Amino acid sequence: MRLLLTRPQPESERTAALLRARGHNVLIVPMLRIEAVALPNLGAGPWAAVLFTSANAVQAISTHRRFRELAALPAYVVGHRTRAAAVRAGFAPVVSADGNVEDLTTLVVEQLPPGGPPLLYLAGSDVSGDLAGALVSRGMRVETAVVYRSVMVADLRPDVRAALAAGQVDAVLHYSARSAAAFVAAVLTAGIKDLTLNIRHLCLSPKVAVPLLEAGATAVVVAKAQNEDALFACIDQS
């Protein structure tokens, strides 16, 4: 199939490689640009551990002047890709929940007793779940530092616009509500909204689908689980 990926780089490159290995033609148009926050305020510390729900946060903090201090702490991460990024950056030990924010919450509560130093959650400006709130409700102390932000890309590249306008895209894959909203805004600006919203839009979760449905998309498919394998399974659905 002819697929369009809207997630930021470098995630889009990794996903495109997986899809191409399955025989699909893939066009990449990142609708969000990831930017590290310059000199984020981490607070005084000390902390019992650091928490990550995104590999982007790992990359953003890896050049911070206090990185060695942080890397000496146990790191708890949401999944295997974030774990790989943390290990490459130099964190040790790194413990992965291999799931979602709820799984990470359960893991942290099971392994770290309440009453000790707070946990440091290194996050983006927009997050899909409330890790800090979930942990606080379970009796943990959490300090959050925003270390990166995602900026919407306003325009489509000419080749992407041409492919969409000519009906040369069978489906668009969406991984976040913000990137889906950015895509809707970009096709509206490009003057191809009606042409674009009639093709299939494959979404990682119901929340991701909202901007597309509100814009009038007619063929929105939501993955049965919030993971990439479930999203890929949508590709072959009729």
Q: What are the tens digits of pLDDT across the range 23-50? A: 999 999 999 998 999 889 899 989 999 9
Residues 134 and 166 placed together within one structural domain of the fold: no
Task: Determine the pLDDT at residue 128.
Answer: 66
- Spacing of C-alpha 214 from chain mean position: 21
What's the pLDDT tens digit per position in 180-206? 999 999 999 999 998 898 899 999 999
Angstrom distance (rounded) from CA 69 to CA 91 = 10
Residues 109 and 192 placed together within one structural domain of the fold: no
Taking alpha carbons only, the member of 60, 236, 23, 222 closest to residue 145 is 60
Task: Determine the pLDDT at residue 83.
Answer: 94
Residues 146 and 42 placed together within one structural domain of the fold: yes
Residues 81 and 126 placed together within one structural domain of the fold: yes
Between CA 8 and CA 14, with CA 10 as vertex, the angle to 5 degrees is 110
- Spacing of C-alpha 42 from chain mean position: 22
Angstrom distance (rounded) from CA 77 to CA 26 = 29
Q: Is residue 62 part of a domain?
A: yes
> How large is the greatest C-alpha to C-alpha distance in the chain, in angstroms?
60
Please determine, for residue 238, whether its predicted confidence score (pLDDT) is greater than 60. Answer: no
CATH number at residue 182: 3.40.50.10090
Residues 27 and 81 placed together within one structural domain of the fold: no
Angstrom distance (rounded) from CA 118 to CA 86 = 20
Q: Is residue 238 part of a domain?
A: no
Residues 161 and 191 placed together within one structural domain of the fold: yes
Please determine, for residue 172, whether its predicted confidence score (pLDDT) is greater than 90. Answer: yes
Provide the domain limits for residue 57: 35-150
Residues 178 and 131 placed together within one structural domain of the fold: no
Beta-carbon contacts of residue 30 (< 8 Å; ≥ 6 apart)? 5, 6, 7, 8, 9, 12, 153, 179
Residues 40 and 144 placed together within one structural domain of the fold: yes
Percentage of the chain exceeding pLDDT 70 = 99
Number of domains observed in the structure of the chain = 2
pTM over 0.85: no
